[in-house]
Chains A and B, each alone.
Chain A
């Protein structure tokens, strides 16, 4: 797999992972950081396909980068929403109408506010699982936890988030 294919496949997913973690301002830069580290690790031969997927390997780096930068996360300053230009995050979807995009933006804001009520492990697992392609096995592998533990954390996170979001009119 060449570098461009890796970026095309992982770039948007890593970018959205950082947004879900609350790095709304720095998501693009942090994704760049992951790619720098990933490139170096692949060049050094640190990635072993027999030990796990490239997705799990890349998201493992992303999780580490997120933890490193957590104190500066924008998740906790979203109260001052006017300071942040949400259009800088890119479009929700090219084919969606302006109203649909606005709805998506509101859902994201609400999600970022409500996820704070989960504990850090639940946040960690949930934000990884919301990725379109990451499986429970991948998350278990990159978090060095048994799959059963990941499932139970995810279940609790889902139940808690469900109540919180449904109170705000978003079904889960």
Chain B
């Protein structure tokens, strides 16, 4: 059956163009041109850095214990008190 379409394959040959060496060189360097490959590598570093930062922050929060929350709560109360006093005077 393919023989029925042989003339089409010949036509394909007739209109074929040869890419330049520069084009082929660009296509060959695709894995190095696309940043996806290198980004994957750098993502590991970003992930590791984020993990270390997360551990340090977590450690600080746990070590501070309820005091840190107390400080936050106190500031909040003070702000509200100030606001109340300010608006009522």
A pairs with B: yes
The size bracket of the interface on A is 35 or more
User: Which residues of chain B have C-beta atoms less than 8 A from A129's C-beta?
Assistant: 5, 8-9, 12
Interface size on B, residues (CB 8 A): 28
Q: Residues of B contacting A35 with CB < 8 Å? A: 27, 30
B83 interface residue (CB < 8 Å to A): no
Contacts of A77 in B (CB 8 A): none
Which A residues fall within an 8 A CB radius of B?
3-4, 7-8, 11-12, 15-16, 19-20, 28, 31-32, 35-36, 39-40, 43, 89-94, 104, 107-108, 111, 126, 129-132, 135-136, 151, 154-155, 158, 162, 165, 172
Report the Cα distance A40→B34, complex, angstroms.
9
B8:A8 contact, CB within 8 angstroms: no
* Pairwise interchain contact B12-A31, C-beta atoms closer than 8 A: no
Residues of B within 8 A of A172 (CB): 7-8, 11
Taking CB atoms, residues of chain A closer than 8 Å to B7 are 158, 162, 172
Q: Shortest CB–CB separation between residue B19 and chain A, in angstroms?
A: 5
- Complex Cα gap A3–B15 (Å): 27
- Residues of chain B in range 64-89 having any CB-CB distance to chain A below 8 Å: none
The answer to whether A11 and B24 touch (CB under 8 A), given A39-B34, A126-B8, A158-B5, is yes
Taken residue by residue from 25 to 64, chain B's Cβ proximity to chain A (1 for < 8 Å, 0 otherwise) reads as 0111011011011000000000000000000000000000
